[in-house]
Amino acid sequence: MKEISAKDVQEDLEQGQSLNLIDVREVDEVEAGRIPGIIHIPLGLLEFRMNELSKKEPYIIVCRSGARSGRATQFLESQGFDVTNMVGGMLAWEGEVQ
């Protein structure tokens, strides 16, 4: 499984890179603060909403601590998607939130 640090994601965004971020946390967690522009698909709905994603695009998966996003990354990878887990999740995120 590919992994990226929260710091690397933050630096890429600050440098103007366009990243496809997916937040797999629950609704109440996302309402408490999320990375601007992130797509929200709760982990429990991922299997049913993966048709909204493109296998031609890379995605970075985010959760609170990195555990659920790790499971989501493994699942999507098994379905043929190009995915990377953001290690440490939102607990490690020091960038902007909305």
Residues marked as catalytic: 63
**Token digits of residue 12:** 């890429």
Token pair in block for residue 26: 């629950």
Enumerate long-range contacts of 18-21, CB under 8 Å, 24 or more apart. 19/60, 20/57, 20/58, 20/59, 20/60, 21/59, 21/60, 21/61, 21/62, 21/86
DSSP state at residue 61: E
DSSP state, 15?
Answer: T
